[in-house]
Amino acid sequence: MGAAGRFAPSPSGELHIGNLRTAVLAWLFARSSGRRFLIRVEDLDRARAGFEAQQLDALAAIGLDWDGEVVRQTERGPIYQRALEQLAEGGLVYECFCTRREIAEAPSAPHAPEGAYPGTCRNLTDAEREERRQNRPAALRLRADTASYTVADRLHGDYTGLVDDFVLRRNDGVPAYNLAVVVDDAAQGVDQVVRGDDLLSSAPRQAYLAQLLGLPPVEYAHVPLVLNERRRRLAKRDGAVTLDALAMAGFNAAAVRRMLLESLRLPDAPLDQLAANFRPDALPLEPWIFDPPQVALSRG
């Protein structure tokens, strides 16, 4: 298949300008390194009818193209099941019956990192598991043998983060994000993951899981987010932040792309031309503060 990068949105709503900026960066990272660029729809959770097509239209409108067919996670259940079976055969999976409230209220294990799963169900006896099955379906957790793992990130350098007994399959039978993303990347030949830096803390779990499954490592680049004027994560409630809303404020797709490129300190040029000269080490490392009211005023 050859090496690949990817952009993997969840079809829960319109892409906002922060999502589009990350997509542009993922495209530039991939194309500048001779990789294929793939689109994967992560629709295991929060999918809403109609938004997949709307998101793909928005990506195309700002000039992005991709290779091959769009892949959807809901069509890939068998590969997640095979990964679960592989881990289970190695004794690396156990049932967990805890609710979120029980986890939050449970005392942490001695020396456990803050936020780590406390291991409540890790060593249940067969009888205890059978008793709990009568009251609540089980999630499946990874039986991790480390508390941390280090990944190399193109923009952040070496990053060491928490690894605990994280969920592999939810108690409703849906594969968890950390499992699905690792399996999908390997199956698609993705060896470069460019995404928002709010996901940096999840990379050690995913890299560790990939190692357990015998999958090749990926190159990470966690890029700065777009924040609102209060320096909080940009959200649709901030106003004119989606392509359609910006169009109503007088900014067509070409103008939005110019804004995105300017925020990345890149010239307004065809994307293929930019890819030929793209230098990740020249990217701004601070968040981009986007103020929709000021954008609208500047238009007027």
Q: Where are the beta strands (DSSP E) in the chain?
A: 4-7, 36-41, 71-72, 93-96, 139-142, 148-153, 157-162, 167-169, 192-196, 219-223, 226-227, 288-289
Which amino acid, residue 42?
E
Cβ count within 10 A of residue 105: 10
The answer to whether the annotation marks 6 as part of a ligand binding site is yes
Q: At residue 140, what is the residue type?
A: L
Residue 149 annotated as binding site: no
Centre a 10 Å sphere on the Cβ of residue 197 and count the other Cβ atoms it contains: 17
Cβ-contact 191, 28 below 8 angstroms: no
- Establish whether 10 is an annotated binding residue: yes
Helices (H), 136-242: 177-188, 203-212
**Phi and psi torsions of 151, nearest 5°:** -120, 155
Q: Is 83 annotated as a binding residue?
A: no
The reply to whether 114 sits in an annotated binding site is: no
177 is in an annotated binding site: yes
- 121 a known binding residue? yes
- Establish whether 9 is an annotated binding residue: yes
- Contact, 102 vs 116, CB < 8 A? no
96 assigned binding-site residue: yes
Residue 42 assigned as binding residue: yes
The answer to the question of whether 98 is labelled as a binding residue is yes
- Binding residues for ATP, as ranges, are 236
- Binding residues for Zn(2+), as ranges, are 96, 98, 117, 121
- Binding residues, as ranges, are 6-10, 42, 96, 98, 117, 121, 177, 195, 236
- Binding residues for L-glutamate, as ranges, are 6-10, 42, 177, 195
